[in-house]
């Protein structure tokens, strides 16, 4: 029996960058994508997942291209419900594609891969002793990033660059700024970044570039062999 994979997202996530990595070991028809808000009407998504007073907020990309803040608690509640359903359906691996921390999610039988839990220690082991420069899409994410990369021996440097920068000049300029400040490894830490962004940076700046969604996709692919 072939292995099965469920990709679980909160909002809209471009999967074209990771599917080729996954389909090296699993047929595409064995992969299911479930999104809490990705296919919802944006107004309905905001109504259903609006944060109540006292609730924490996280970001999600809706299908109208808008990045919004929604309730962490409501998202966690519904993610756990979906995980339990996928578990009962017999999926072997559940890949949560979201870079913020959502603690306490559990699966009974399937292997649950959570980038926020896996990627920081993995990157720390890969680039131990090097100076990392992290590129993120918006300044509002910097506080989360500083918490995320505490496992690194050297505190990372940060720069802002949007994945929507199709020409690439903003991305290359941001990467060059990090290198000028002392970075010798770059990290693209947003699900909107894909391999074309990584290839552009490596070609333009001649430094190693890590891509968080590729790292977790490769790990998932190994589990599906």
Note the pLDDT tens digit of each residue in 3-33.
Answer: 899 999 999 988 877 788 788 778 888 899 9
Average pLDDT rounded to a whole number, residues 57-73: 93
Strand 57-61, strand 67-71: pairing: antiparallel
Stated length of the chain:
225
Least confident of 26-30, 41-45, 106-110: 26-30
Looking at the chain, list the stretches that DSSP marks H as alpha helix, in order from N- to C-terminal side.
19-22, 42-49, 72-88, 115-126, 142-148, 169-180, 195-205, 212-223
DSSP 132: E
Residue 1: the pLDDT is: 46
Residue 104 has pLDDT above 60, yes or no: yes
Pairwise CA distance, residues 128 & 27, whole Å: 35
Whole-number percent of the chain with pLDDT over 90: 55
């Amino acid at each position: 029996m072939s292995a099965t994979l469920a990709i679980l997202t909160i909002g809209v996530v471009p999967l074209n960058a990771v599917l080729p990595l996954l389909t090296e070991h699993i047929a595409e028809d064995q992969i299911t994508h479930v999104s809490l808000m990705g296919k919802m009407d944006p107004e309905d998504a905001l109504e259903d997942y609006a944060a109540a007073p006292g609730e924490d907020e996280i970001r999600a990309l809706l299908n109208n291209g808008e990045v919004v803040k929604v309730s962490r608690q409501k998202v966690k509640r519904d993610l756990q419900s979906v995980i339990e359903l996928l578990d009962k359906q017999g999926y072997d691996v559940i890949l949560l594609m979201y870079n913020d921390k959502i603690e306490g999610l559990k699966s009974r039988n399937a292997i649950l891969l959570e980038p926020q839990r896996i990627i920081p220690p993995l990157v720390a082991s890969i680039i131990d002793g090097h100076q990392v420069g992290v590129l993120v899409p918006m300044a509002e994410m910097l506080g989360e990033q500083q918490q995320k990369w505490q496992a690194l021996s050297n505190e990372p440097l940060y720069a802002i660059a949007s994945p929507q920068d199709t020409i690439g000049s903003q991305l290359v300029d941001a990467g060059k700024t990090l290198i000028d400040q002392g970075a010798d490894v770059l990290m693209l830490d947003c699900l909107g970044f894909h391999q074309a962004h990584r290839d552009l940076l490596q070609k333009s700046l001649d430094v190693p570039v890590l891509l968080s969604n590729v790292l977790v996709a490769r790990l998932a692919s190994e589990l599906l062999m």
